[in-house]
Amino acid sequence: MKRGVAILFLSVSILPNLALAQVKEDSFFSTSAKASVGEGITLPKDWGEIKAFGQMFWDATIGILPNFVKKIWKEEVLPFWRKMGDWVQKNILNPYIYPFFNKEIKTREPIIEAEFQKEKKEMKESIKTEVPKLTKSITDFSIWEKIKELIK
């Protein structure tokens, strides 16, 4: 019984595929097979021919590859990521993230404004104290004298 099932499985799955493996005389595969047998194809005679073929192949690849990648990028990759970004915007950012941050910003806005004014006042005071010291050192040429000492 098991043997019969195995033979039936083989005949149903493998034998029909053997018919597909046959090649018609006028098909692409038969002509390429004939060409590879000996019509104009020869082995390279030295390293120079191998190098020339490799260079030709490399130049053709480099000429085609950037346009090929650019086409795939524009037609497939960017639309996919844009679609994903739109979905994230619609289903995650707009309903959950943006409202949370907007609420936090509104509650912290007065605190931030007060800190900003405090920093602004401190900077004005430090400018009033530091600028005279800087101008005094420039007028006294102390910086210039220190540079001269370093050069000597």
Is 13 a member of any domain?
yes
Tell me which amino acid residue 118 is: K
Position 53 in a domain = no
17: in domain: yes
* Domain count across the chain: 2
Q: What is the pLDDT of residues 69-95, one digit of tens each?
A: 889 999 999 999 999 999 999 999 999
The answer to whether residue 47 is domain-embedded is no
Hey, what amino acid is at 100? F
Six-digit token pair at 135?
Answer: 């101008």
Tokens coding 78: 């960017």
Domain range for 12 is 1-41
* Contacts for 41 with CB less than 8 Å, ≥ 6 apart: 35
Pair 76, 30 in one domain: no
Has residue 82 been placed in a domain? yes
Same domain, 71 and 117: yes
52 and 60 Cβ atoms separated by less than 8 Å: no
Question: Is position 112 within any domain?
Answer: yes
Q: What is the pTM of this model?
A: 0.36
In a domain, 25, yes or no: yes
Q: Per the domain annotation, does 60 fall within a domain? A: no
Q: What pLDDT, in 10s, does the model give residues 16-68?
A: 666 666 555 555 544 544 444 445 667 878 888 889 888 888 888 888 888 88
101-121 b/e (C-beta count within 10 Å ≥ 16 → b): eeeeeeeeeeeeeeeeeeeee
- Give yes or no for a contact between 56 and 50, defined as CB atoms under 8 angstroms apart: no
Q: Are residues 36 and 83 in the same domain?
A: no
**CA–CA distance, 44 with 124 (Å, rounded to integer):** 81
